[in-house]
Amino acid sequence: MNILSLENVRKTYDKHVAVDGVSFNMPKGCVFGMLGPNGAGKTSLIRIITTITQADSGVVLYNGEKLNQNHPSQIGYMPEERGLYKKMKVGDHLIYLARLKGLSKADANREIKSWFEKFGIEDWWEKKVEELSKGMQQKIQFISTVVHRPGLLILDEPFSGLDPINTNLIKDEIDELHRNGTSIIFSTHRMEQVEEVCEFMVLINQGKNVLEGSVKDVKNQYKENLFKIDFNGELPMDALVQTNIITQKDQSITVQLKEGDDSNALLRHLIQKDVHIDSFNEILPTLNEIFIRKVASSNLEKTTNPVL
**Tens-digit pLDDT profile for residues 159-208:** 877 888 888 888 899 999 999 999 999 988 777 878 888 999 999 999 99
pTM of the model: 0.84
Residue 297 domain-assigned (yes or no): no
| 244 and 184 share one domain | no
User: Cα dist. 8→24, 67, 91, 150, 298 in Å?
Assistant: 9, 14, 42, 26, 18
| 125 and 269 share one domain | no
Residue 252 domain-assigned (yes or no): yes
Q: How far apart are CA 33 and CA 35, in angstroms?
A: 6
Half-sphere exposure in the Cβ direction for 192 (13 Å, CA): 1
Residue 193 domain-assigned (yes or no): yes
Confidence of residue 113 (pLDDT cuts 50, 70, 90): very high
Length of the chain: 308
Coil, strand or helix: which one is 103? coil
* CB atoms inside a 10 Å sphere around CB 87: 9
pLDDT tens sequence across 6-15: 999 999 998 8
pLDDT value at residue 167: 86
66 and 234 Cβ atoms separated by less than 8 Å: no
Residue 289 domain-assigned (yes or no): no
| 197 and 262 share one domain | no
Q: How far apart are CA 264 and CA 244, in angstroms?
A: 16
What domain count does the chain have? 2
Q: What is the largest CA-CA distance in the chain?
A: 76
| 131 and 13 share one domain | yes
Residue 76 domain-assigned (yes or no): yes
Residues 6+ apart with CB under 8 A from 37: 189, 205, 295
Q: What is the CATH number of the domain that holds 240?
A: 3.30.70
Please check the confidence at residue 96 and state whether its pLDDT lies above 90. Answer: yes
Confidence of residue 51 (pLDDT cuts 50, 70, 90): very high
- If phi > 0 it is left, if psi is from -120 to 50 it is alpha, else beta; for residue 105 that is alpha
Closest CA to 90 of 134, 146, 130, 150: 130
Q: Work out the average pLDDT over 114-120.
A: 93
Residues 6+ apart with CB under 8 A from 160: 80, 138
| 98 and 163 share one domain | yes
Half-sphere exposure in the Cβ direction for 48 (13 Å, CA): 28
| 39 and 135 share one domain | yes
C-alpha torsion sign, points 238, 239, 242, 243: negative
Tell me how far the alpha carbon of residue 100 is from its chain's centroid: 27
Tell me how far the alpha carbon of residue 47 is from its chain's centroid: 17
pLDDT tens sequence across 136-171: 888 899 999 999 999 999 998 888 778 888 888 888
Higher pLDDT residue, 300 or 233? 233
Residue 294 domain-assigned (yes or no): no
Residues 6+ apart with CB under 8 A from 185: 4, 26, 32, 33, 34, 46, 49, 152, 153, 154, 155
Q: How far apart are CA 8 and CA 4, in angstroms?
A: 13
| 79 and 135 share one domain | yes
Range of the domain at 228: 224-283
| 119 and 231 share one domain | no
Please check the confidence at residue 44 and state whether its pLDDT lies above 60. Answer: yes
Residue 308 domain-assigned (yes or no): no
78 and 139 Cβ atoms separated by less than 8 Å: no
| 271 and 234 share one domain | yes
183 and 28 Cβ atoms separated by less than 8 Å: yes
Residue 302 domain-assigned (yes or no): no
Confidence of residue 306 (pLDDT cuts 50, 70, 90): low
Return mean pLDDT, the chain.
Answer: 89
| 7 and 30 share one domain | yes
Q: Work out the average pLDDT over 76-93.
A: 89
Give the E-state strand segments of 28-166 in sequence order: 31-35, 57-62, 65-66, 75-78, 152-156
Closest CA to 183 of 20, 29, 61: 29
